[in-house]
Amino acid sequence: MDNIIDKISDISGENIYACYQCGKCSAGCPSVEQMDILPNQVIRLIQIGRVELALKSNAIWVCASCFMCSVRCPRGIDLSKIMEALREIHLREDIDHIDIKDVRRENVYELPQIALVANFRKQTG
Ligand code: SF4
Ligand code: SF4
């Protein structure tokens, strides 16, 4: 398990263990209402070695990479990079998070193409 924690640290460049769970990241996160677990809980799961639960959470996909958490963190942790590292690890297993066949036809016509492209870049490997 240390291995995967090292991998998250390597990909993100962040010190997972610097977090002392103050919750300021979650308090300022604009996407938190759509998340099944809070951003500070994502980093806590990694600290205690339950990375598989962090990888299963929808929080890592809902994260909009807005950097609000990194601006607010008193420990200087960029949590958006940790979220990105978790998505990378998931996608490197060759497991896409969404399937183009699941996108409703009306959404394909209604959504801006740039939104669709950005979404597929983020959620498929
Ligand atoms: S703001 Fe920083 S120190 Fe506080 S819980 Fe979030 S990541 Fe941890
Ligand atoms: S980068 Fe992600 S986790 Fe951080 S505040 Fe923005 S949406 Fe929330």
Give the model confidence (pLDDT) of 40-85 as tens digits.
999 999 999 999 999 999 999 999 999 999 999 999 999 999 999 9
Q: What are phi and psi of 82, to 5 degrees?
A: -70, -40
Query: Which among 77, 97, 86 has a CA at the least distance from the CA of 45?
Result: 86
Same-domain pairing of 32 and 75 = yes
Question: What is the residue range of 60's domain?
Answer: 2-93
Same-domain pairing of 74 and 102 = no
Same-domain pairing of 111 and 61 = no
For the chain, what is the mean pLDDT?
92
Same-domain pairing of 114 and 87 = no
Comparison of pLDDT for 2 and 91, the residue scoring more:
91
Same-domain pairing of 85 and 106 = no
Half-sphere exposure of 26 (CA within 13 A, CB side): 18
Same-domain pairing of 22 and 9 = yes
Same-domain pairing of 11 and 50 = yes
Q: How confident is the model at residue 2 (pLDDT cuts 50, 70, 90)?
A: low
Same-domain pairing of 6 and 57 = yes
Cβ(43) to ligand 2 under 6 A? Answer: no
Cβ(69) to ligand 2 under 6 A? Answer: yes
**Is 23 in contact with 100 (CB distance < 8 Å)?**
no
- Residue 67: the pLDDT is 94
Q: Tell me which of 14, 35, 38, 43 to substitute to probe ligand 1's pocket, judged by most ligand atoms within 8 Å of the beta carbon.
A: 43
**Is 32 in contact with 39 (CB distance < 8 Å)?**
yes
Same-domain pairing of 18 and 43 = yes
Residue ID of nearest Cα to ligand 1 atom 8 = 19
CATH code for position 38: 1.10.1060.10
Distances (CA, A) of 114 to 62, 68, 81, 110, 121: 17, 23, 22, 12, 10
Q: Which ligand has its closest atom nearest to the C-alpha of 41? A: 1
77 exposure class (CB count in 10 Å sphere: 0-12, 13-18, 19+): buried
Same-domain pairing of 45 and 79 = yes
Same-domain pairing of 33 and 47 = yes
Look at residue 1 and tell me whether its pLDDT is greater than 60: no
Q: Tell me which of 70, 75, 79, 84 to substitute to probe ligand 2's pocket, judged by most ligand atoms within 8 Å of the beta carbon.
A: 79
Domains: count for the chain: 2
Same-domain pairing of 33 and 77 = yes
What's this model's pTM, rounded to 2 decimal places? Answer: 0.87
